[in-house]
Structures are given as structure tokens and as C-alpha cells.
């Protein structure tokens, strides 16, 4: 693949727009810089805002703060206002939807599955699909992530792949621009605070730092007809484990101080 030039700007009489999809992770932010450095066309920058409930965003408070800061820098540096697209449907709303047919008719959906997560297909992707129809989408996939290349098409382009920018280089670009998301201080991945894919250490941190969100996870766990993890582990199992581990640490600290 070569560097993108403005070639196919009109499709069916309509002007194509080049739209960068921003997650605020290192790859999508570095992608904006690569677009600028290589004079690639860019018309809009969009971010799909996922809500956990009607009032709680899917991102943790430090991430929400970072987004505000990043929006300001992006506007100044690239001259484009980030558009925040709000999906009216929340994660919780979808969680409590009921199957209308099939083996599970009448049951609520509960936690998404790992292989076909409805949170992605039903909450996040539809908004992006609507937007990217008849446009060119830029997505943040790094040059050393070949397992994600199947997502790329003629109309779904990765500037990082086009320009051979790796994940490490993407991180460096963000650091230099003071645009590295706070999620990298504690983990390698971002995503929703209730995500079933997150590492155990991240769940433990959630319980410690955001007990009110953890309480919501426990409530959902009570109601879900499927377990949080596909191996049968529930949020309550993690609750027991974390409570035990924290008690051990407290005991150890007490013994150390006596």
C-alpha cells in the first residue's frame, strides 16, 4: 500500500469524506500526526462515546479528563474539532434486552460473549458504520499488528500501516505530543471499565478505585444468565478472590509494622 492521495473524492456524485476514527488510544492519536506529517486528506475526526448507564460513561474519570485535554490539543494542532457521537443505547440497556426468539427466548442478554461481543457490534459499531457509509475511514492499526489487518479494506485505511509505524513508535509520538492516554500508566489496553476482556489486575484496580462501579458489576453479575468470563468465572468469584488478596496484604502489612 502507498501513501493516500486525494484521488477518489467523488462517489456516485457525492463528495467522499476522509474520517479519522479516534479512540484516544496511542495508535489512533499517533495516526492523526502521521496524517499531518504525510499531508494525507482529513475532513473529520470522530469519537463514539459509549455510556455504561444513562449517567455513567464507559470510560473512567481520568480518561474523560484526558479526552477534554486531547480535544484541545487536537483542535490547535490539526485544526479540526473532534466530534463526539453519542449512542442513545447504553451498555446497561442492551444488557437487559430480552431474546425474542431462539433457545434463549425471554432471557436477558447479560454479559457479552468474547467471540461475538454485542457491546461492540450493537453499541459501538453501528454509529461508526452509519458515518463511514460512502466515506473513507482512517483507523488506528499499527504496522506491527498483522492480526488486525483483516479489518482493512479499500475504504478502511490505516495510515500507520501505510507509513510503517509500529506500536512502540506510535507511543513515542503520543509522548512527544503530551497526548499519551492515562490508561497506559496502569495497563496496556484501554476500553470500557466493565469490559469482559480486561486483565484480572485491571479488574482488581477497578474494585479498589471505583467501588461504586464495582458494585454495579456485581449487580449485573446477579442478573446475567451468562457468566462474566467464558470459563465460568463470575464477578462474584473475582470479588471473593480480591477480598481475600487484599486481606492477606493488610495482614502482611500489620505484621511488618509490629
Count of CB atoms situated within 10 Å of the CB of 53: 15
**Cα Rg, the chain, nearest whole Å:** 21
Minimum CB–partner distance for residue 242 and ligand SF4 (Å): 20
Residue 22 makes contact with ligand SF4 by CB under 6 A: no
- In the set 131, 183, 195, 203, which binds ligand SF4 (CB under 6 A)? 195
Q: Give the Å distances, CA to CA, from 116 to 58, 120, 149.
A: 19, 8, 18
Contact 107, 96 (CB under 8 A): no
Residue 197 makes contact with ligand SF4 by CB under 6 A: yes
The residue whose Cβ lies closest to ligand SF4 is 191
- Tell me the number of residues near ligand SF4 by CB under 6 A: 8
Q: Which is nearer to ligand SF4, 197 or 240 (CB)?
A: 197
179 burial type by CB count under 10 A (0-12 exposed, 13-18 middle, 19+ buried): buried
- Taking CB under 6 A as the binding criterion, the range among 71-79, 190-198, 204-212, 242-250 that sits at the site for ligand SF4 is 190-198
Segment (H or E) for 246: helix 235-257
Q: Which is nearer to ligand SF4, 53 or 120 (CB)?
A: 120
Minimum CB–partner distance for residue 62 and ligand SF4 (Å): 16
Residue with cell 457479552: 112
Minimum CB–partner distance for residue 57 and ligand SF4 (Å): 11
Minimum CB–partner distance for residue 6 and ligand SF4 (Å): 32
Q: Which is nearer to ligand SF4, 111 or 138 (CB)?
A: 111
Contact 97, 118 (CB under 8 A): no
- In the set 33, 181, 191, 203, which binds ligand SF4 (CB under 6 A)? 191
Residue 48 makes contact with ligand SF4 by CB under 6 A: no
Cell numbers at residue 209, please? 478505585
Residue 63 makes contact with ligand SF4 by CB under 6 A: no
Cell numbers at residue 183, please? 490508561
Minimum CB–partner distance for residue 123 and ligand SF4 (Å): 6
| Closest to 212 measured CA to CA, from 52, 77, 29, 67 | 52
Contact 125, 113 (CB under 8 A): no
Cell numbers at residue 223, please? 442478573
Minimum CB–partner distance for residue 35 and ligand SF4 (Å): 24
Segment (H or E) for 48: strand 44-49
Span 108-147, contacts to ligand SF4 by CB under 6 A: 117, 119-120, 124
- Taking CB under 6 A as the binding criterion, the range among 82-90, 189-197, 207-215, 246-254 that sits at the site for ligand SF4 is 189-197
Which of helix, strand or coil describes residue 108?
strand
Minimum CB–partner distance for residue 225 and ligand SF4 (Å): 18
Residues in touch with ligand SF4 (CB under 6 A): 117, 119-120, 124, 191-192, 195, 197
Amino acid at each position: 500500500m502507498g501513501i493516500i492521495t486525494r484521488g477518489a473524492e467523488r462517489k456516485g456524485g457525492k463528495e467522499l469524506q476522509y474520517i479519522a476514527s479516534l479512540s484516544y488510544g496511542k495508535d489512533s492519536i499517533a495516526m492523526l500526526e502521521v496524517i499531518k506529517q504525510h499531508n494525507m486528506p482529513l475532513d473529520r475526526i470522530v469519537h463514539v462515546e459509549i455510556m455504561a448507564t444513562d449517567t455513567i460513561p464507559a470510560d473512567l474519570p481520568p480518561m474523560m479528563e484526558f479526552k477534554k485535554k486531547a480535544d484541545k490539543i487536537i483542535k490547535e494542532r490539526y485544526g479540526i474539532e473532534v466530534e463526539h457521537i453519542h449512542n442513545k443505547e447504553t451498555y446497561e440497556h442492551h444488557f437487559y434486552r430480552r431474546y425474542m426468539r431462539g433457545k434463549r427466548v425471554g432471557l436477558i442478554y447479560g454479559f457479552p460473549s468474547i467471540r461475538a461481543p454485542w457491546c461492540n457490534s450493537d453499541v459501538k459499531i453501528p454509529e461508526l458504520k452509519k458515518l463511514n457509509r460512502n466515506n473513507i475511514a482512517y483507523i488506528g492499526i499499527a504496522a506491527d499488528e498483522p492480526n488486525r489487518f483483516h479489518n482493512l479494506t479499500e475504504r478502511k485505511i490505516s495510515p500507520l500501516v501505510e507509513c510503517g509505524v509500529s506500536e512502540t513508535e506510535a507511543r513515542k509520538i503520543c509522548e512527544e505530543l503530551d497526548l499519551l492516554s492515562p490508561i497506559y500508566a496502569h495497563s496496556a489496553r484501554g476500553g470500557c471499565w466493565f469490559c469482559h476482556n480486561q486483565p484480572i489486575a485491571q479488574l482488581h484496580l477497578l474494585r479498589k478505585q471505583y467501588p461504586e462501579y464495582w458494585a454495579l458489576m456485581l449487580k449485573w453479575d446477579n442478573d446475567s444468565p451468562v457468566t462474566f468470563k467464558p470459563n465460568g468465572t463470575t464477578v462474584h468469584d473475582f470479588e471473593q478472590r480480591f477480598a481475600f488478596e487484599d486481606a492477606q496484604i493488610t495482614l502482611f502489612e500489620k505484621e511488618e509494622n509490629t
